[in-house]
Chain A
Amino acid sequence: MVVILIACSTLSLFAEREPFSPEAIRFFENEIRPLLRNKCADCHNNQLLTSGLSVESRETILRGGNRGEAVSLGLPEESRLVHAIRRQGELKMPPGEPLSPPEVSALVRWIEMRLPWPARLPAGNIPDRSSMHWSFQPIERPAEPKVSDPLWVRNPIDSFILARLDRQGLQPTPEAEKATLIRRVYIDLISLLPKPEEVEAFVGDIRPDAYERVVDHLLESPHYGERWGRHWLDLARYADSNGYNADGERKIWMYRDWVIRALNRDLPFNQFVIEQIAGDLLPNATEDQIVATGFHRNTMLNLEGGIDFEQYRVEAVVDRVNTTGVVFLGLTLGCARCHDHKYDPVSQREFYEFFAFFNSIDELSGEFNNDEGRARASEPVLEFGTPEQYARREALRAQLEVMQEELKTYEEGLLAKQAQWEACLSDDDLVKLSPSQRAILEIPTEDRHEEQRKSLRRGYFNQDVGHQERRKAVAAVQKLEPEIPSTLVMREFPEPRPTHVLLGGEFLNKGVRVWPGTPAVLPELPAKERYTRLDLARWLVDEKNPLTPRVTVSRVWQRYFGRGIVETENDFGTQGLPPSHPELLDWLASEFVSRDWSLKAIHRLIVTSATYRQSSKYRPDTAKKDPRNRLLARQNRLRVESEIVRDLALSASNMLVPEIGGPSVFPPQPAGIMIRETSFARAGESRWPKSEGKDRYRRGMYTHFWRTSPHPALMVFDSPNSLTSATSRNRSNTPLQALTLLNDAGFHEFAQGLAQRILRERPNGTNSERVEHLFRVCLTRTAQQVEKERLERLLETQLDDFRTNPSEAEEILSLPTPVGVDRPEAAAWTMVASVVLNLDEFITRE
């Protein structure tokens, strides 16, 4: 109601009609209108609305701009417009040549006269910013097109693809070989290698739906949630640390696990979105739904000394706007932070209306620029303790309070004796003080600064045995506090924090006040008195919103073919590229919504299509007409993502510990990575407590992600930096990748594991049979004769060499080998296994 009331009252204000004399109107027409048109309206018109101000009508002038009121009726001296044209304040208008003194006087007089303007029909309240741009138009379900070869078509996707190929005179490629296909779909759906027996069973299965059976099996695998969860975590900028300098650890892995579980149970995507944006605001929200709101707590948190927390809270809120814009709407809303969007129909004011949805979280802000704020910096969190843990914590905290009180009293007693202590310091005592503390002793007590007093007091206390004991006791009790599992979540203030346009995007430079709202170019929010995040969440997945389904299916497509149907996957606005297959995009989007937003349904559609199942072999004949293979006359070869490079090697070596979820882990990394990179308090290698036992062999997605110094094996293979949302990954191909696969301690272990596996599974095999098995395990295919010969040659020379130099075999084998295994043989096979793990084909989805 409030909004409507305000709207009514503003309307009545705007509708105010004053009886202007004909002379006043003439004055306006002769002196003012040309001035406004020539000097102001180039920027301040209803279309551009620069700084939120338009001079196209009396109403819009009275409405003001982002800085607030532009004109005070009858009071030129109090009008911002007059200050600006007189160039009195920070704002100087128009830019460039100032107005002439007669022009200034005319405007002053006009304001004194209360803005005479000829009567006409009141202008519309909201400027017309609608756009004919394709992505803002409603989704219409296109009919399946006719194609040249209906037999090739397995589902409607193929009709759209083939129709386009027909137009270009291109033929699709036949289906990939079965062994390739099963490796492909395993990698795409669960990112683990199929076991040789699974490959064999599939290749031998002549039932017409053999492939679909594999797909259904994989979609039910709990590893599906890991694979597609990691894609989602890229968008969510998930990390295990706060970022910025201090880059302290944060606990939000429960959110990561929520994503995995939600995908595994195929939570409808609209619900998936609502829970992440506003699960905490749902009626009777479950703990699970609150955990989901970790999505927007993945923003960075700056705890550097000497800063204003408010500045970084605002940065976090801006990041939430940008992320929401790019993840769901495919729009670069961030461009409108400092000024109106240059290309897309989003104004700066609309940016801050969107901002208002995320501006009322009960989190670290400028009101807590102190130690108290620092102490509760992670808030809000959701805890998962047992009643016993809470009780114990409470008891310990009470005990601690008493102890600290006692310590304080003790210190007061000590302080009374400080002068005496200073007076009779022995040489031994002096040695225990630092040079600067000794220097402070020279300064008369009353001349010492606070910092100097504190420093000396510290030196004094440190020498007192009673004080030492008490401090130790306090520290011991502090250590006893049980570690209660928790995760970062959203919690709304009961009363929203007021939101203002931030001029130039600066957190201190507040402009006009705004309320939560969505950009005018997109479908309206249902009328309501006050909008919350929950309204935004529901609006994002409202049937009338064409962007969310289009963006989502295009991104799913992107993971299977290397590029989205809209190739500029982070920009569906006017600066982005149009879709390669517009009808396919809309068909998939409408299919997605009509199948109750089931992601698994879309996955099944895509991976069972003939388009997906094509061979990826390079075709010189199509390269001329479609060099970038946008039309998909074949599949694309894709180097797998950083985590998957690791997962495939783990999977090949059979060393994988397939546990799902839990706190992040610390697999080995090269020395020197964590050197003094970040935190003051906990710098250094202690921040990488190298995992032992099973946690050394978890999937790549569970590797602890320090934002300022992520695991190098991840970054070398283009993991996103998790500072902001990542809608796609680079696929670089660099020497550092080669060095990682060749020399990294982790991959060296996997090569040993793989060698042992081969020897274990083919105990009496010939070299040739073992090489054959190695190929089946890693590449799911049979080895060509030349390949076999090449690896056998390597094996033989290496084996000879290791037999001559058994000590080198011992050096290479950092892992124990089972009893009975010939050490030089294990070493030689490690070399052969590592060759296969280094092949381009191994880290590629064919």
Chain B
Amino acid sequence: MSIRRLQLLDRTRRYFFSQCFVGLGNIALGSLLSDGKLLAGTAPQVENPLAPKPPHFRPRAKRVIYLFMAGGPSQFETWLYRPKLGELSGQPTPDSFLEGKRFAFMESFTKARPKLLGPTRKFQRHGQSGTWVSEVFPHMATVVDDLALVHSVVTENFNHAPAKLFVNTGSTRFGRPSMGAWVSYGLGSESQDLPTFVVLRSGEQTLMGGAYLWGSGFLPTTYQGVEFLRSAVPIPNLASPKGISIKRQAARLNAIRDLNLAHLAASGDPEISTRIASYEMAHRMQTSGPELMDLGSESQETLDLYGATPGESSFANNCLLARRMIERGVRFVQLYHTGWDHHGNRGNNLNEKLDEVALATDRPCAALIKDLKQRGLLDDTLVIWGGEFGRTPMGEVRETIGRNHHIENFPMWFAGAGVKPGQTIGGVDELGFFVTKDKVEVHDVQATILHLLGLDHTKLTFRYQGRNFRLTDVGGHLIKKLLADSTLV
């Protein structure tokens, strides 16, 4: 265990919400603690590991909503228009593009030389920026002037789980802290009754990498993402057992608090104050959680904007929930939607399966931007869209023709706080194989997100197993073109 970690653990141990004692003001302690010594200096100074912490410099973004498109969306069917690829569709791929490259499912490419596959969707220019958008995103096409679109992100690993881990944790190996965990560690929490880092999932397929995508790695578990499940009980054990009404639960909690206080008086361990505070927060979560998840209070207009239906579990509902969360002080909301892995087999083809997943996400993504904008939240909220890699310009033959994983370029878009909108960053060759201009590494994306939150990615470190770790490992350069105010760099 590292020295830094030990200090933190000490703090965790003394994890304490200062408002705890305010809450205790109402308690009739007279009979319980007649000597009145409890609050008189026996409990030493304690610190909450989630207390808000100052950023390194003035932040442009106060919070983040990250829309993670799991599986690897095809750039050729969404954001990257390659007419030349269309012209050469069906031609064998030139050797020069394949030499020395490794792909997932290599065998499908080694059996026969793969053929180029032209875009399977129509593209049009949209907005004042004249950004090319495919027909699968009719709603996103209406907000392109609010986006900074990056074509030139590259990554390192072509298997789903490692590639997802890389984008989410900065490493292809399991067990490193996720971006949200780093942010919670760096900035603490603004919310008194909700976790500061929340995860929402949708889509019918397996989310490879699972809970490690929002884990805290070697950081204390306090910083890990809390998943709100798609069920009536969004957090495990948030609901009281059957027959325990709100009133009964309160009676139980009051008794627990009183007895814990008595023991605090007897033993003086500040850890007990932390325990008391944890129970108070748990109690608040039991009320605020269901209130948060209840979309019934949203106007029909808003529900229609997102395409959300109260009581359902969908990406649309999750986008709306994300807005409700950031309104309530959650700092980092991570959405995952699966179903973007279009190899060409029955359940994963570039035809109706791509249409389905585009349909499920297009309207809600656009709605989120519009909704945040009209509520004035887009100014200090950063919205990010992207997957773990792109797909090949060559077709991959399965039951139908699809595309394989491609790590040499994939698209992401950014909107909101501190982002210069209405621009496209990055060049890709005319067949869509390689980046030709403004290459962006995954660590660059991460460095830039931290920067917008007011954190210097080289200074946000944690000592573990003998060395300082950071989200961006040994890499990370700001994507300067992305920033609205580059003088801040």
Contacts and interface: CB of A to CB of B under 8 A. Distances in A.
A451 B209 contact: no
B399 A455 contact: yes
Contact of A245 (B208, B349, B399, B467): B208
Given A450-B111, A733-B13, A743-B237, A839 B259 contact: yes
A833 to B, nearest CB: 11
Nearest to B264: A840
A304 B252 contact: no
Contact of A790 (B9, B235, B248, B258): B258
Contacts of A244: 161, 174
Interface stretch (B272-280, B382-390, B437-445): B272-280
A732 B222 contact: yes
A724 interface: yes
Interface string B358-400: 0000000000000000000000000000000000000001111
Which of B13, B236, B237, B274 has the most CB atoms of chain A within a 10 A radius of its CB? B237
Given A617-B267, A678-B210, A846-B267, A743 B238 contact: yes
A452 to B, nearest CB: 6
A628 to B, nearest CB: 7
A326 B2 CA distance: 13
Range, interface on chain A? 35 or more
Interface string A539-582: 00000000000000000000000010001111101011100000
B324 interface: no
A739 B400 CA distance: 49
A789 interface: yes
B229 A672 contact: yes
A701 to B, nearest CB: 20
Contacts of A739: 235-238, 282, 285-286
A812 interface: yes
Interface string B202-233: 00111111111001000011100010011101
Contact of B285 (A304, A568, A732, A735): A735
B382 to A, nearest CB: 27
A153 interface: no
Q: Which of B104, B248, B286 has the most CB of A within 10 A?
A: B248
A730 interface: yes
Contacts of B272: 840
Interface in A615-665: 616-620, 623, 628, 637, 639
B271 to A, nearest CB: 7
Q: Chain A at the B interface: mostly helix, strand, loop or mixed?
A: loop
A422 interface: no
A325 to B, nearest CB: 10
Nearest to B210: A708
B248 to A, nearest CB: 7
B260 A712 contact: no
B470 to A, nearest CB: 15
Contact of A672 (B231, B260, B266, B400): B231
A575 B5 CA distance: 13
B236 A436 contact: no
Nearest to B247: A801
Nearest to A841: B263
A839 B276 CA distance: 9
A436 B346 contact: yes
A783 B262 CA distance: 11
Interface string A806-840: 00111111100000000000010001101110111
A730 B221 CA distance: 8
A732 B211 CA distance: 19
Given A639-B271, A738-B282, A786-B31, A571 B2 contact: yes
A436 B266 CA distance: 73
Interface string A285-321: 0000000000000001000111100000001000000
A787 B259 contact: yes
B282 A742 contact: yes
Contacts of B230: 672, 675
B44 A307 contact: no
A176 to B, nearest CB: 11
A809 B104 contact: no
Contacts of A245: 160-161, 206, 208-210
A444 to B, nearest CB: 16
B206 A332 contact: no
Given A673-B236, A738-B282, A708 B400 contact: no
Interface in B258-310: 258-260, 262-263, 266-272, 274-276, 278-279, 281-282, 285-286
Given A451-B397, A728-B1, A812-B244, A787 B206 contact: no
Contacts of A344: 466
A724 B218 CA distance: 11
Given A440-B399, A628-B10, A671-B231, A304 B160 contact: yes
B255 A809 contact: no
Contacts of A673: 236
A709 interface: yes
Contacts of A832: 255
A502 to B, nearest CB: 15
B201 to A, nearest CB: 8
Most central of A678, A738, A808 by chain B CB within 10 Å = A738
B465 A745 contact: no
A797 interface: yes
B210 to A, nearest CB: 4
B221 A718 contact: yes
Contacts of B229: 672, 675
A677 B229 CA distance: 12
A232 B310 CA distance: 48
Contact of A742 (B220, B221, B240, B397): B240
B263 A567 contact: no
Given A245-B161, A708-B211, A797 B243 contact: no
A797 B251 contact: yes
B251 A831 contact: yes
Contact of B210 (A677, A727, A740, A790): A677
A348 interface: no
Which of A440, A639, A736, A791 has its CB near the most chain B CB atoms (within 10 A)?
A736
B474 to A, nearest CB: 10
Given A567-B1, A639-B271, A840-B275, A623 B44 contact: yes
A449 interface: yes
Contacts of A343: 466
B236 A672 contact: yes
Contacts of A623: 44
A841 B271 CA distance: 10
Nearest to A569: B1
A784 B12 CA distance: 30
Contact of B226 (A334, A617, A628, A736): A736
Contact of B237 (A728, A732, A740, A846): A740
Contacts of A617: 266-268
Most buried by A among B220, B256, B345: B256
23 contacts: A306-B105, A307-B104, A332-B467, A343-B466, A573-B466, A576-B466, A639-B271, A670-B233, A672-B229, A677-B211, A712-B236, A732-B12, A733-B15, A733-B271, A734-B222, A740-B236, A743-B240, A786-B31, A813-B243, A835-B259, A838-B252, A844-B271, A846-B267
Query: Which 4 A/B pairs are nearest by Cβ-Cβ distance?
Result: A811-B243, A618-B268, A738-B282, A812-B243
Interface of A: 243-245, 247, 300, 304-307, 315, 326, 332, 334-335, 342-344, 434, 436-437, 439-440, 449-452, 455, 563, 567-571, 573, 575-577, 616-620, 623, 628, 637, 639, 669-673, 675-680, 683, 708-709, 712, 715, 718, 721, 723-724, 727-728, 730-740, 742-745, 748, 784, 786-787, 789-791, 794, 797-798, 801, 808-814, 827, 831-832, 834-836, 838-841, 844, 846
Given A728-B1, A732-B12, A736-B282, 17 more contacts: A332-B465, A672-B231, A677-B207, A715-B221, A721-B175, A732-B220, A734-B222, A735-B279, A735-B282, A739-B235, A739-B237, A743-B239, A743-B240, A790-B255, A835-B255, A835-B259, A844-B271
